[in-house]
Amino acid sequence: MVNAPLSQPDGARARLLELSQARGVSLASLSDFLGRNPSYLQQFIRKGSPRRLEEEDRRKLAAFFGVAEDELRETQDKSYASSPNRDKAADWVEVPRLDLGASAGAGRLTDHEAAFDTFRFSRRWLAEQGLDGAQLSAITVAGDSMEPVLNDGDEILIDRSPRPFRDGIHVVRLGDALLVKRVAQSGAGRLALLSQNLAYPPIEVAADEVPIIGRVVWKGGRI
C-alpha cells in the first residue's frame, strides 16, 4: 500500500507554519502548549486533520504569536471574507477613547471631548452584537452608584447613533455633568435616572432637560 503524499499547507495551516518557523518554536512544543498530543499541529498542517482548529486553540495560538485570530481561521469559516488579498484593516473598527468620564455618582463636570487613544474591535464581532455601523465612543465610569453592574474605572462603549429611546443604561448630560444611569420613562415627558446602588436615590427630570448622549452597549474593566 502506497501512502498518500502530504498535502501542501495553505490558508490558516500555511500561516501557522510560517509563524512557528519565524518564532523558532516547534509544532510539537506548540501542541504541548495547547495541552494536545505532540503530533496534533503537525497533522493539522500536513494532513488537514483536524480540518480546523478549535476556537480555544486558535485563541491561544493567536495570543501567543500576537496576531489576529482571523489569520488562523480557515477561509471557509470566514463568511464575511471576499478574497485572500482583501485589506485586513477593513476587518477592524477604530473606536475613540474620549478623555472624559461619565459619573456613576454625584456627577463630574466635563468641558471637552478629546480622543486620546483608540480601541480596535472586530467588525464581525460588532455585527454579531447588532452594532454594525454604530457611532461608538469609549469613556470611563467614575463613581459607585452603578455598582455592581458598572464599577469605578470601567470603560464603557456608548452608541451615539440616533435611535428611538428605550429604557436601559445611558450616558446623559444633566447641566454640565455627564452621568451614566439606568434611564426609564416616568410619565408623560418625564424621565427617571436610576442607580443600581440603592444608596443613591432616583433623579426625576423633564425629558427635554436631559440630552441623551448614547446608550451603553458594552463594558470592560479589571477583575
Residue 61, domain CATH: 1.10.260.40
Query: Containing domain of residue 73, as a range?
Result: 11-77
Residues 121 and 198 in one domain: yes
Percent of the chain with pLDDT over 90: 30
With 0.85 as the threshold, say if the pTM is over it.
Answer: no
In this prediction, residue 7 carries a pLDDT of 53
Domain boundary pick from 77, 112, 134? 77
Same domain, 37 and 123: no
84 falls within a domain = no
Residues 118 and 204 in one domain: yes
Whether residue 150 sits in one domain with residue 41: no
Query: Each residue of 26-56: pLDDT tens digit?
Result: 999 898 888 889 888 988 888 888 888 888 8
Judge if 43 and 129 occupy the same domain.
Answer: no
- What CA–CA distance (Å, rounded) separates 61 from 64? 5
Residues 97, 70 share a domain: no
Cell of 97: 477613547
Q: Which has more confidence, 206 or 5?
A: 206
User: Residues near 79 by Cβ (< 8 Å), separated by ≥ 6?
Assistant: none
The residue out of 44, 77, 110 marking a domain boundary is: 77
For the segment 96-116, the average pLDDT, to the nearest whole number, is 63
Domain end residue (candidates: 77, 106, 134): 77
Lowest mean pLDDT across 38-42, 57-61, 73-77, 169-173: 73-77
User: Is residue 168 in a domain?
Assistant: yes
Domain count, the chain: 2
Q: Are residues 145 and 206 in the same domain?
A: yes
Q: Which residues contact 25 (CB under 8 A, 6 or more apart)?
A: none
Task: Say if residue 34 is in the same domain as residue 101.
Answer: no
End-to-end, the C-alpha distance of the chain in Å comes to 57
DSSP string, the chain: -PPPPPPPP-HHHHHHHHHHHHHT--HHHHHHHTT--TTHHHHHHHH--SSS--HHHHHHHHHHHT--GGGGS-GGG-TT---TTS-GGGGEEEEEEEEEEEESSS-EE-----EEEEEEEEHHHHHHTT-TT--EEEEEEESSTTTTTS-TT-EEEEE-S-----SEEEEEEETTEEEEEEEEE-STTEEEEE-SSTTS--EEEEGGGS-EEEEEEEEE---
User: What integer is the mean pLDDT of 13-31?
Assistant: 87
pLDDT band, residue 85 (cuts 50/70/90): very low
127 and 69 in a common domain: no
The whole-number pLDDT of residue 198 equals 92
58 pLDDT band (50/70/90 cuts)?
A: confident
Instruction: Identify the band that residue 121 occupies on the pLDDT scale cut at 50, 70 and 90.
Output: very high
Mean per-residue pLDDT over the chain, rounded: 82
CATH code at position 158: 2.10.109.10
In a shared domain, residues 60 and 166 = no
Does one domain contain both 106 and 69? no
- The answer to whether position 83 is within a domain reads no
Which of 3-7, 63-67, 126-130 is predicted least confidently?
Answer: 3-7
